[in-house]
A and B are shown apart, each in its own frame.
Chain A
Amino acid sequence: MSFYGLVDGTEASLKKYLGALSGVDQVGADARAAMLATRSIKTSSKRWAIDTAISMVDLTTLEGADTPGKVQALCTKAVRPDPMNSDVPSVGAVCVYNDMVRIARIHLDSIGGEHVGVAAVSTAFPSGRASMAVKIQDTQDALDAGASEIDMVIDRGAFLRGDYIGVFNEIVQIRKLCGTGVHLKVIFETGELVTYDNVRKASFLAMAAGADFIKTSTGKVTPAATPPVVLVMLEAVRDFYTMTNTRIGVKPAGGIKNTKDALKQLVLVNETAGPEWLTPTLFRIGASSLLNDLLMQRMKMDDGYYASPAYVTID
């Protein structure tokens, strides 16, 4: 592997690469994210943004209580989010635990949802506390079941104690396993990384190691995808693009519950990474309840009055 020529796979080269990163101005990042959150999106722009956001949703169910029936219902909703309205685009992917991947893939294919991906959370999600052998087997299971996207977690403990090469090598191994056909998303759990500097460092580490997407959180820890954290990650993919001419995607997940939150994320993308990132291949939103709110806002734009949760599905 070439790692874009940025590192050669040794600890020394990785340290040099990460050590050269500039620090993040925390106050500035908070202020810029807060400022961008005040943008007002109305009428036709809002409509476009809602549809774009729907197409970027990774419709997620990651509960111990998940059943095949629930996953199948979720898949049906993923393909056609609003049963009353075929104009509404399908979501980007469904995101499930490993044992539900095959059920999701078969159901999606059987209802004309071949274009909707199945993302599997992997490598001992959500904690990442397992041996590498278990993590590899976990990922292989998901790939065998037909996952088209792998959402792996990094070992936050290793990252925080400074074992960057360990984290790097784990990502590299999972990348090899996925090959070129399967999208690899690397989850940092930014709520556990503590500082924006760490978020930036983890972003560059994961991108060099071969991630297709960098993802904020598992959804099991708060804070999750706060706007400043997403801003820092978007700046990282932008800077990485100028270094390598390669566009890496970003996936905020956790805490994005309503349309307003989602539109704020799209503004961040447009103003930070640029409009090229406003596509489901480069920006995804991991969410479950968000989709209903997007649909209700869409209904409101169509009908002229506020919709009720009684008119969308109970997930």
Chain B
Amino acid sequence: MSNRIDVKKTYKLFINGAFPRSESGRTYEIKNANGVFIANLCLASRKDLKDAVVAARAAQSRWNKASAYNKGQVIYRIAEMLESRRAQFVDEITVFTGTTKIKAQKEVTDCVDRLVWYAGWTDKLSSLTGALNPVAGPYYNFTLPESMGVIAAIAPETPSLLGLIDAIAPIIVGGNTVVVLASTKAPLSAMSFAEVLATSDVPVGVINILTGKKDEIAPWMASHMDIDGFDISGLDAQSHGAIRIAGAENLKRIFRFKSADPGRILAFLENKTVWHPIGL
């Protein structure tokens, strides 16, 4: 054996297309299923959340204006990048969560397929959920789904990677941008997924990933005035009440979901109705 020094990966946050450490300098330890230390992860602070929201807000208008076809291409590209690094993710999930290799392979496959499935939704949304409304007058009257803005999400603890993708993808399909808190106990594949995002065509700021404690971050997400919607699927049931009350103060739309579902996309869209005179 050589005397080569181990080259270990430093796991950091993913904000505005960059990988900063937490501005607070705080970290927490991640251990594998057998209790063996694996890595120090950033413990995101309120300011990290603020920075992520500023980035997401700045990116929202451009992402929203991208054509549905282009959004689909970008999300499909994430799937391509993930597929090309399949072996790495299978290894990471196996080592970090103590699951079997077969289960890990299935999770990565599901992740890729799920991204492709969501990519397909981008250019079908307005046709399937929009409407041409009957009105008594010389007008066309359309109802079309439009993006809500900046959406926060808490990813579920398990499955850590598939849960993260299920949190992110439906939010960005409709033109929203997202700030997501990864699984607290198994965030490593989430932060490796950020590398996939950084090398795909996702514009900076559209997806921002934090690691840290749900009990800390969730109330800040709920009270932040510049977050328009909040997916609390990954949050423990006993804290839902307080989060909903904090979110109601600023009219935030708060939802939770159990599985992949087109309803997840629609939850963070708003219907806009347009009147257009006939004959002009």
**Do the two chains belong together in a single complex?**
yes
Q: Which residues of A contact B226 (CB under 8 A)?
A: 306-310
Per-residue CB proximity of A129-143 to B under 8 Å, as 1/0? 000000000000000
Interface residue A311 (Cβ < 8 Å from any Cβ of B): yes
B57 close to A306 (CB less than 8 A): no
Chain B, Cβ-Cβ closest to A311: B225
B224 close to A305 (CB less than 8 A): yes
Interface residue B143 (Cβ < 8 Å from any Cβ of A): no
Q: Which residues of B contact A307 (CB under 8 A)?
A: 225-226
Per-residue CB proximity of A293-315 to B under 8 Å, as 1/0? 00000000000111111110000
Interface size on B, residues (CB 8 A): 9
Q: Which residues of A contact B73 (CB under 8 A)?
A: none
Q: Which residues of A contact B225 (CB under 8 A)?
A: 305-308, 310-311
Q: Determine which of A304, A305, A309, A311 lies in contact with B57 in the assembled complex, contact meaning CB atoms within 8 Å.
A: A309
CA distance in complex: A72, B154 (Å) = 45
Query: Which residues 117-152 of B have a CB within 8 angstroms of A?
Result: none
CA distance in complex: A304, B225 (Å) = 11
Q: Which residues of B contact A311 (CB under 8 A)?
A: 225
CA distance in complex: A310, B53 (Å) = 14
CA distance in complex: A309, B225 (Å) = 9
CA distance in complex: A311, B226 (Å) = 9
Per-residue CB proximity of B224-240 to A under 8 Å, as 1/0? 11100000000000000
CA distance in complex: A308, B249 (Å) = 13
Chain B, Cβ-Cβ closest to A299: B225
CA distance in complex: A309, B50 (Å) = 13
CA distance in complex: A242, B50 (Å) = 44
Q: Which residues of B contact A308 (CB under 8 A)?
A: 224-226, 250
Shortest distance between the CB of B146 and any CB in chain A (Å): 16
CA distance in complex: A309, B227 (Å) = 11
Shortest distance between the CB of B110 and any CB in chain A (Å): 35
CA distance in complex: A126, B32 (Å) = 62
Most A CB within 10 A of own CB, among B50, B225, B250:
B225
Chain A, Cβ-Cβ closest to B53: A306
Shortest distance between the CB of A230 and any CB in chain B (Å): 24
CA distance in complex: A272, B50 (Å) = 31
CA distance in complex: A295, B220 (Å) = 20
CA distance in complex: A306, B250 (Å) = 11
CA distance in complex: A309, B58 (Å) = 11
Interface residue B223 (Cβ < 8 Å from any Cβ of A): yes
CA distance in complex: A310, B225 (Å) = 9
Shortest distance between the CB of A216 and any CB in chain B (Å): 25
CA distance in complex: A308, B56 (Å) = 12
Shortest distance between the CB of B230 and any CB in chain A (Å): 13
Q: Which residues of B contact A309 (CB under 8 A)?
A: 57, 226
CA distance in complex: A124, B220 (Å) = 49
Per-residue CB proximity of B188-226 to A under 8 Å, as 1/0? 000000000000000000000000000000001001111
Q: Which residues of B contact A306 (CB under 8 A)?
A: 50, 53, 220, 223-226
Chain A, Cβ-Cβ closest to B50: A306
Query: Which residues 20-72 of A have a CB within 8 angstroms of B?
Result: none
CA distance in complex: A307, B220 (Å) = 12
CA distance in complex: A307, B54 (Å) = 11
Q: Which residues of A contact B50 (CB under 8 A)?
A: 306
CA distance in complex: A308, B54 (Å) = 10
Q: Which residues of A contact B224 (CB under 8 A)?
A: 305-306, 308
CA distance in complex: A51, B250 (Å) = 26
Q: Which residues of A contact B53 (CB under 8 A)?
A: 306
CA distance in complex: A310, B251 (Å) = 13
Most A CB within 10 A of own CB, among B50, B53, B57, B226:
B226
Shortest distance between the CB of B69 and any CB in chain A (Å): 30
Shortest distance between the CB of B118 and any CB in chain A (Å): 28
Chain B, Cβ-Cβ closest to A307: B225
CA distance in complex: A311, B224 (Å) = 12
Q: Which residues of A contact B223 (CB under 8 A)?
A: 304-306
Shortest distance between the CB of B176 and any CB in chain A (Å): 15
Chain A, Cβ-Cβ closest to B249: A305
CA distance in complex: A311, B225 (Å) = 9
Q: Which residues of A contact B220 (CB under 8 A)?
A: 305-306
Most B CB within 10 A of own CB, among A304, A306, A307:
A306
CA distance in complex: A308, B50 (Å) = 11
Shortest distance between the CB of A290 and any CB in chain B (Å): 15
CA distance in complex: A305, B219 (Å) = 10
Shortest distance between the CB of A7 and any CB in chain B (Å): 49
Per-residue CB proximity of B54-95 to A under 8 Å, as 1/0? 000100000000000000000000000000000000000000
Shortest distance between the CB of A305 and any CB in chain B (Å): 4
Chain A, Cβ-Cβ closest to B57: A309
Q: 5 A-B Cβ contacts within 8 A? A: A305-B220, A305-B223, A306-B53, A306-B220, A310-B225
Other contacts beyond A305-B225, A311-B225: 9, CB < 8 A: A305-B220, A305-B224, A306-B220, A306-B223, A306-B225, A306-B226, A307-B225, A308-B226, A309-B57
Q: Contact residues of B with A, CB < 8 Å?
A: 50, 53, 57, 220, 223-226, 250
The 7 closest A-B pairs by CB, nearest first: A308-B226, A305-B223, A308-B225, A306-B224, A307-B225, A306-B50, A306-B225
